[in-house]
Amino acid sequence: MAISSLWLDSVGFLVILFVLSGSRECNALAGYRLPDTVVPEHYIVDMITNLEEDDYSFQGKVWIRVKANKATDSIIMHSRNLTIPESEVSVKWIAKGDGGAAANQLMPIANTKFVTDNEFYIIKLQRPLTAGEKYMIKIPFSGELTESLAGYYRSSYFDRSANQTKWLAVTQFESTDARRAFPCFDEPAMKAVFTINLGHKKHLKSISNMPLINTTDIEGMEGWVWDHYGDSVPMSTYLVAFMVSEFEFKDGDPTNNNVSFRIWARKDAIGQVEFARQVGPKFLSYFEEYFDVKYPLPKQDMVAIPDFNAGAMENWGLITYREVALLFDERSSSTASKQYIASVIAHELAHQWFGNLVTMKWWTDLWLNEGFATFVATLGVHHEFPDWKSYDNNAVENMLVVFSLDSLKASHPVSVPIGNPSEITQIFDTISYKKGSYLLRMMNLFLGEEVFRKGVSNYLKAHRYSNAEQDDLWAALTDEAHKAASLDKALTVKEIMDTWTLQTGYPVVTVTRDYEKGSATVSQKRYLAVKLTAREAEKEKSCWWVPLAYTTKKELDFNETKPKVWLNCKEDAEIHDISAKDEWVVFNTKAAGLYRVNYDEENWNLLADTLNNGDYKSIGTLNRVQLLADALDFAWGGEMEYQMAFKLVSYLKKEDEYLPWKSGLSNLNNIERLLRRTAIYGEFKRFMRSLLTEPYKKYRSFAEIPSAIEEIKFKSLVVGWACRMETEDCISQALTLFKKWKAEADPDANNPIPSDVRGLVYCLGVKHGGESEWNYLWTRYQKSNVGNEQTLILSALGCTRDVWLLNRYLDMSIDPMSDIRRQDSSSVFSAVARNDVGYYLAKSFLYSNVKKIHAYYGPKTSRLGRYVSTVADHMIHEEELSELKKFVEQNKDLLKYSLLATTQSIESTVVNIRWFGNYYSKISRLVTI
């Protein structure tokens, strides 16, 4: 990418000149990477934390035992925003055995230097280290406990019993922020053992990755103590974690693996850890059994942090979470929040094996961490809660978002080349998590569950406590697949999967039938939202190994996912004896592969007729999901007439399952989003009310909440759309409930609104109210003790139609003195931008305040990308695109850590404009019939 090469030209060359002029490794060092001349083996970190109001700081010392792989006179490591007194830095040679007078000999230091742009700390020695020898580096350091949500930072909360604000200090090191806390070799492949000692005032508690060994007084500091923690297993710096706080904990339910499990939270929220306390140990035991590898640590702590940038972080033995991702309140939290919490807990615990035990060598293979944790978390949740149908639900959710994002030219491969570390944060995205997960599901389904599980287990055992690349995983899976004969001996997993992980995008498979011969030709090409020019099409050489599993009206075998044929990169596939001419065929059973399927018009008509004649359940649920998703997107892109797509969609009036409705409405939402500011929006709403008639009849009562989770989700979806499309009694029910709540003498203790429709009711109460309703809900936010409830309220406050309230709300979102936490500010912006009235205000706010927003999040933020994509989603005019491009160009320095998101946003806007120009009038005719 251009930003990487530019950065290297201007900075990396200077670093190399300073550090390595005339030294042996000059040619081996990339400007942004550490050389492997010196590698760490063991860190001892002494860290004293000060949480006094006039001095939020930390100071300490780190001793790093290193090995010199090559002779060198430069020790290069990482440090950022730390103060290091040069005179107190030392390097000693550690003699082997009885070193006599030479043992622990000091190595004279010529000078030390910070290279700010590279975040390097360099110790230049007067004579070189000896290859093969070991040395002890000692570095004192100090730093500020900021509120940046990165490195070692501080977070606050209001303690109701003490009636005061309390502070805590906690770490967030992924991906490159351990260097903010102590000098270190901050790359994932440089694993080492860590011994952590935490100093703090006696009334506070600390926790770290390993169990507490003992506590001793700090000499010369009355009222202060050292907490000494056991040696860790070898691990990467980004997994080191510690916290100093006044939190309390509850023990998890005991299991037979003897792992001590604790859930920590602030005192006022400790009653909300019950669900996590129950499910956490069960997930840990499940993964031990699934991977056939014992959890290697004696304990597992999970902590709910009030201010936390990510959803959660898988630090080994000390997982940190946003409160909304760990805490569940039985009285007020929704069913959706329970499922979310379960999935996040399972995801982070899966990381203890995938990511922690075996770690990617470099961030290029981040997907090995995130894709795997996402996929096997689904298995864990499905095992524990089979009635939730999480395996299919997650497949559909992943498919829909990946189909959308990965159809852009500006997407990226799953295994993405990373140069400058500034690019790392940008790939913690849908592609690494959801596409990675979907590809693993695809592989699981074409190899078979047992082959997949055994191959993964062998991979973990072979690389435990070390680092690996995707090729190592492919080799382990190939060995198992060949043993079980689930893959032809002439074919390897690498040959298949490299086409999916090293290329951007995914294919559309076109099935053209010969109805007289009963055969079909199957071809492939890359699916793109913006069609290629003739010249671009000539250069486009993308090709995939595509597993073709299919069934017919006669067979009706929608559970078989083992491919009958592989569509390869050499030729189209010819399939014979496929089906009778008056019978349909459906490819990609169970939506097992990450590809779209387009049929000839006759086959589409056969499928549409089956869906509409009452026999729709003869087609498997996941394939009904894909038929709707594909048809609506083909119509969106011009590969199908909208008349055919709407013919398929019309069957939803009969559909009684959640997932097909989720698919249909998700894709219709794209149309709704672009019509919202147009003259035909009223007609579209009438069309949608007609489509929703039957399920709304079933689920219209807000008071009647189904018992099955799948039905609860279906009800929430249908009722949400019905109110959005202004179904009269839907809105009246919501307003009645809101007024009833507002009339309660103690509304914080007594809320009559069912938890699964609260977000909807809150939004409508504010939308159809005024300042009084807004202020009332804001007060509820301030008084709420439940993170999930606060999240619902923040979203609902963006529903008001009063311009001045929306402008005030936007200003509050980046005001550090308001009660909106930094982690939630972008969510407030999104809530306003989704509002019909608020869109223009949000766009203006972004354009006018981009420097303030950037400063609010800090210098290395990728959050600005979310702001840009939120406003770009709704753009439909060329003038808006020109304005967006100008904004991005003028603020390219502020947006450099959001380069990927802004590029994708511009392309998405082009897609919107093209659609609006081509199909607005056609949609107008269809929705007014």
Output the domain CATH number for residue 179: 2.60.40.1730
Is 370 annotated as ligand-binding? Answer: yes
Is 348 designated active site? yes
CATH of the domain at 480: 1.10.390.10
**Are 597 and 563 part of one and the same domain?**
yes
The whole-number pLDDT of residue 929 equals 64
Is 423 annotated as ligand-binding? Answer: no
Residue 711's identity, in one-letter code, is E
Out of 451, 483, 502, pick the residue that ends a domain. 502
Question: For residue 716, is it within any domain?
Answer: no
Cα distance between residue 725 and residue 284, in whole Å? 44
Short-list 102, 94, 97, CA closest to 68: 94
Question: For residue 705, is it within any domain?
Answer: no
Question: For residue 607, is it within any domain?
Answer: yes
Out of 449, 478, 502, pick the residue that ends a domain. 502
Name every residue whose Cβ is closer than 8 Å to that of residue 844 and which is 6 or more positions away in sequence.
none
**Are 466 and 522 part of one and the same domain?**
no
H or E element: which one contains 247? Answer: none
CB 599 within 8 A of CB 627: no
**Are 431 and 526 part of one and the same domain?**
no
The whole-number pLDDT of residue 628 equals 98
The whole-number pLDDT of residue 103 equals 57
**Are 171 and 157 part of one and the same domain?**
yes
Q: Are strands 299-305 and 318-322 parallel, antiparallel or unpaired?
A: parallel
Helix (H, G, I), strand (E, B) or coil at 301: strand
Task: State which residues form the domain around 135.
Answer: 33-246
Question: For residue 668, is it within any domain?
Answer: no
**Are 529 and 411 part of one and the same domain?**
no
**pLDDT per residue over 198-232, tens digit each?**
999 999 999 999 999 999 999 999 999 999 999 99
Question: For residue 663, is it within any domain?
Answer: no
**Are 467 and 546 part of one and the same domain?**
no
Cα distance between residue 706 and residue 714, in whole Å? 10
Short-list 343, 442, 373, CA closest to 402: 442
**Are 406 and 549 part of one and the same domain?**
no
Short-list 901, 841, 847, 845, CA closest to 869: 901
Is 540 annotated as ligand-binding? Answer: no
**Are 460 and 525 part of one and the same domain?**
no
H or E element: which one contains 861? Answer: none
CATH of the domain at 626: 2.60.40.1910
The whole-number pLDDT of residue 82 equals 98
Considering the chain, what is the average pLDDT of its residues? Answer: 93
**Are 498 and 533 part of one and the same domain?**
no
Global pTM value? 0.94
Name every residue whose Cβ is closer than 8 Å to that of residue 714 and which is 6 or more positions away in sequence.
657, 658, 661, 695, 699, 706
Question: For residue 203, is it within any domain?
Answer: yes
**Are 392 and 465 part of one and the same domain?**
yes
**Are 491 and 638 part of one and the same domain?**
no
Following DSSP, what letter does each residue of 876-892 receive, concatenated?
Answer: -SHHHHHHHHHHHHHTT
CB 142 within 8 A of CB 61: no
In 3-state terms the chain splits into helix, strand, coil percentages (rounded to 5) of: 45, 20, 35
Short-list 651, 720, 649, 725, CA closest to 688: 725
**pLDDT per residue over 37-61, tens digit each?**
999 999 999 999 999 888 999 999 9
Out of 474, 502, 530, pick the residue that ends a domain. 502
Q: Which residues of the chain have pLDDT under 50?
A: 1-29, 99-101
Characterize 863-882 residue by residue with b for buried, 16 or more Cβ atoms within 10 angstroms of its Cβ, and e for exposed: bbbbbbbbbbbbbbeeebbe
Q: How many domains does the chain have?
A: 4
Output the CA angle 302-305-311, nearest 5 degrees.
Answer: 80
Question: For residue 162, is it within any domain?
Answer: yes
Question: For residue 533, is it within any domain?
Answer: yes
The whole-number pLDDT of residue 12 equals 32
**Are 483 and 584 part of one and the same domain?**
no
SS (H, E, C) 716-750: HHHHHHHHHCCCHHHHHHHHHHHHHHHCCCCCCCC
Q: Which of 25, 119, 314, 348 is catalytic?
A: 348
Please, which residues bridge with residue 123 across strands? 75, 112
Cα distance between residue 120 and residue 831, in whole Å? 40
Cα distance between residue 266 and residue 663, in whole Å? 39
**pLDDT per residue over 691-749, tens digit each?**
999 999 999 999 998 989 999 999 999 999 999 999 989 999 999 999 999 999 999 99
Please, which residues bridge with residue 322 across strands? 305
Helix (H, G, I), strand (E, B) or coil at 864: helix
The whole-number pLDDT of residue 547 equals 97
Token look-up 């001045």 returns 804
- Chain centroid to CA 569: 32
